[in-house]
Structures are given as structure tokens and as C-alpha cells.
Chain A
């Protein structure tokens, strides 16, 4: 096929041809089998690109969700596995968090950010792939080194602007660094998307407002969290304490 054929295909598909040209094109499709075949191939490529590029954010969100369900499922099946973190560490960490939580709970009666801000550990590195920057970001974030984590996420977002998962983690890091304006802006963007991180973003935005001491804004955000959200129970607890 020649370049002008491709140009013609595109003009036809995007409705740029005049009525006459369009009819001539369709007649040629019927009569010229190789032209028809080439057009079908072109359409197929165009369709692939459309799905591949346009749905990239949705696909990434799906993969992240799948990875989460999959790891949870297989962890339950085989709780003790080589290369996994010694479960004792979890108990020690849990005990430490409990002790600190208890201490804080006794000190203050009104809810504080730290009671609710539990971002867990993140996993950015896909098994089998080696990506330095994501490993660094993951380690920094999981070690609560939010300053470094924020700059790594920011770098990664330079090349992967639409990655909602990264945007979410960057926003969390920003909140931890008290850079609320930027963080809240990111959360609000994520809330507008159809991604799986939408509800997380609502919950985290509420936490950001809580940390800023704006209880009214916090309540308003919390009211938007749908019942099916993972953090719904926690949100209800927080609403109760705030009211």
C-alpha cells in the first residue's frame, strides 16, 4: 500500500471525505479486494491503538487491582514463604503501632491524623521486572521517607503522566510533607477519574483535611465516600468522632 492510501483511509474514517469521495471510496472497497483488505488491516491497527492508548489508565488500574487480589489470595494460601518478610516483624511492628496508637488515643480526645493515616506498604515493582526508580520509590515510601519518595514519584510521573497509582502515592507523600495544596489538587483530580483509586483518593483527601485541622472540610469530603469503599468503616468512625 502507498502512503496516499493510508491518508485516504484516515480521511474516510474521520469523516473528512465529501459525499462523492465517500461513495467512490465505498465502491472501491467493494470492487478492489486488495484495497479492501488493506483498509481492514488499517482499521484494525487504528482500533488497537485507540484501545491501547486511550484505555491505558483503566488497564493500569485493573492490573494494580488484580495484583492486589492475587497477592492477597496467594498469601492466604501459603502464609509462610521464602523471601517474604518474617511474620514476627509484622507482629513487632503491629505491637509498636498499637502501643503508639494507645498512647496517642489517651493523650487526645479529638481524632488526629495519625490515628487514621495508615497507608500500608506499597508494591510498585512488578515481579520479574527491574526498574530502579520504582524500586527506590517503593523503598522510600515504605520506609516513610516521604521526601525522597515524593521526588521519585515526581520523576516517574514525568514520563508516565497518566499513572493514577503514582499520582496517589505522590499525593500521600505531599501530605506527609505538609504540602497540602499540591496534594489536595492531585486527590481532586483522581476523584474525577473512573479509576479504582477514586475511593482511596476520597479517603486520603479527608485525611489531608484532618491533618490541616479543617474538620468541616474533612467531614464534607467523608460524606462523599460510597458505602462500597474499602475505608468506609474507618470513615464512619472518623465522622462519629468529628461530630
Chain B
């Protein structure tokens, strides 16, 4: 993965990370029409396509900021695959409507397949962490939020009215707790490649 050459379309990923409006606009102008057509042809409509595209871009953004996503294939192929999968999952969830899979627009690009797979894995992982974090006790949530927002543990302890030693210990235990919750979740076993 790391030896592979980074595709010039990495500029789209970098632009998303930088929250560059021009790049976001370009992604819509260049890559949205194909997705919208595909979804419309497969029991969807424009509003649903809008959601699929938006969610896909957010996922790419998360992966790029958290895991330093490097594009090894054209953005077009990667993006279309992700949107398509998201749409097929949506159809599966809402009942079995007829889906025509147009082989012509299915990507034959192995790199794109691989990268799209990694991204969907990342997304499931990210949402599992997020859900488990929400389930964490309020005390842990407050402490972790303060810890990762404020750099110094002394300040964290002070803002929460606890001692420094307690805050540090509690931080480890809360992260440990969250780690356990993630691993014990039934969703966890599907996440390892």
C-alpha cells in the first residue's frame, strides 16, 4: 500500500481536509452527476442521492484527517464505488428493490476496490467508536473531552475540580473502558480486515 504511487487526484482529498470550498464545489461538479444518475436508475431519487454523496464525502474527510488517506487511484473510481456501496446498503436495509448493476460503470480498478474497502472498514470502525463513546458514563465523557481539548492535565484537573493524580489515572481507565466496550461489541469482529 505504502509503496504505491499517490495519484494526482490526491488534491481532492487534501482540499477536503483543508475545507477548501472550491475543491468541495469541484467534487460536486465533476463527480456528483454520475452518482445521481446511478441512484436515479436504481430506485432512488435526487434527494437520496444528495444524502449518499454528502455522507460519502464526510467519511472520506474523516478517514483523511484521522488516518492520513492516500489516494492510489483516480478519485472518480474511488468515489463512485463508495457511493454505490452506500446506496446498495441503503436498498438492502429498506427492502429488496430491484437493482440493475451496470457493469460498464463498475470500476475494474483494483486499487479503487481496495481503497474503497478500506474506507468502508474505517467508517464502520469510526462509527463504532463514536457510538461507544456516547455510551460511556458521563464522568468519563467529561474527563476525556476536557483531556483532549486542553493540553495540560493540570488544567484539566483544575477545571473538573479533581486532583492531578486522579485525573491522570481516570483518563487511562476511561480510555481502557472505551477500548473494552469497543472490543466487546458484536460489531467489532466484522472490523478486522
Binding site for B on A (CB under 8 A): 1, 3, 5-7, 9-11, 14, 38, 41-42, 44-55, 58-59, 61-63, 65-67, 69-70, 73-74, 77-78, 127, 162, 196
* Partner-contacting stretch, out of B90-98, B107-115, B155-163, B176-184: B176-184
Asked whether, in the complex, the Cβ of B21 is within 8 Å of the Cβ of A69, the reply is yes
Asked whether, in the complex, the Cβ of A45 is within 8 Å of the Cβ of B178, the reply is yes
Residues in B30-78 with C-beta less than 8 Å from chain A: 32, 36, 46-47, 50-51, 53-54, 57-58, 61-62, 65-66
Q: How many residues belonging to B are interface residues under a CB distance threshold of 8 Å?
A: 41
| Residue of chain B at shortest CB distance from A53 | B148
Asked whether, in the complex, the Cβ of B57 is within 8 Å of the Cβ of A48, the reply is no
| Residue of chain B at shortest CB distance from A73 | B28
- Give chain A's interface secondary structure class: helix
- In this complex, which of A5, A66, A196 has the most chain B Cβ atoms within 10 angstroms of its Cβ? A66
Known: A1-B176, A49-B178, A59-B61. A78 touches B54 (CB 8 A): no
Distance A70 CA – B130 CA, assembled complex (angstroms):
25
Residues of A within 8 A of B126 (CB): 48
Q: Least Cβ distance of A39 to chain B in Å?
A: 10
- Give chain B's interface secondary structure class: helix
- Contact flags B135-167 to A (C-beta < 8 A → 1, else 0): 000000000110011000000000000000000
Known: A1-B180, A42-B179, A53-B144. A48 touches B66 (CB 8 A): yes
Residues of B within 8 A of A61 (CB): 19
Residues of A within 8 A of B50 (CB): 70, 74
Distance A57 CA – B51 CA, assembled complex (angstroms):
22
In the assembled complex, 16 residue pairs joining A and B whose CB atoms fall closer than 8 Å, in A order, are A1-B179, A1-B180, A10-B168, A10-B175, A45-B129, A48-B129, A49-B133, A49-B175, A50-B148, A53-B148, A62-B19, A62-B61, A70-B28, A70-B54, A73-B32, A162-B149
- Give the top 5 A-B pairs by smallest Cβ distance, nearest first: A6-B176, A10-B172, A53-B148, A6-B172, A73-B28
| Residue of chain B at shortest CB distance from A48 | B129
Distance A38 CA – B172 CA, assembled complex (angstroms):
13
Binding site for A on B (CB under 8 A): 16, 19, 21, 24-25, 28-29, 32, 36, 46-47, 50-51, 53-54, 57-58, 61-62, 65-66, 126, 129-130, 133, 144-145, 148-149, 168-169, 171-173, 175-176, 178-180, 182-183
Residues of A within 8 A of B25 (CB): 69, 73
Known: A59-B61, A70-B28, A196-B19. A49 touches B148 (CB 8 A): yes
Residues of B within 8 A of A196 (CB): 19, 21
Asked whether, in the complex, the Cβ of B169 is within 8 Å of the Cβ of A63, the reply is no
Q: Least Cβ distance of A8 to chain B in Å?
A: 8
Residues of A within 8 A of B36 (CB): 77
Asked whether, in the complex, the Cβ of A7 is within 8 Å of the Cβ of B173, the reply is yes
Q: Least Cβ distance of A164 to chain B in Å?
A: 12
| Residue of chain B at shortest CB distance from A4 | B172
* Of A1, A51, A63, A162, the contact of B58 (CB 8 Å cutoff): A63
Asked whether, in the complex, the Cβ of B133 is within 8 Å of the Cβ of A52, the reply is yes
Distance A74 CA – B29 CA, assembled complex (angstroms):
10
Residues of A within 8 A of B180 (CB): 1
Known: A41-B183, A59-B61, A69-B25. A49 touches B144 (CB 8 A): yes
Residues of B within 8 A of A44 (CB): 179
| Residue of chain A at shortest CB distance from B151 | A54
Q: Least Cβ distance of B128 to chain A in Å?
A: 10
| Residue of chain A at shortest CB distance from B53 | A70
Asked whether, in the complex, the Cβ of B171 is within 8 Å of the Cβ of A45, the reply is no
Residues of A within 8 A of B171 (CB): 10
Asked whether, in the complex, the Cβ of B179 is within 8 Å of the Cβ of A41, the reply is yes
| Residue of chain A at shortest CB distance from B128 | A48
| Residue of chain B at shortest CB distance from A194 | B19
Q: Least Cβ distance of B13 to chain A in Å?
A: 13
Distance A51 CA – B53 CA, assembled complex (angstroms):
23
| Residue of chain A at shortest CB distance from B126 | A48
Distance A49 CA – B62 CA, assembled complex (angstroms):
13
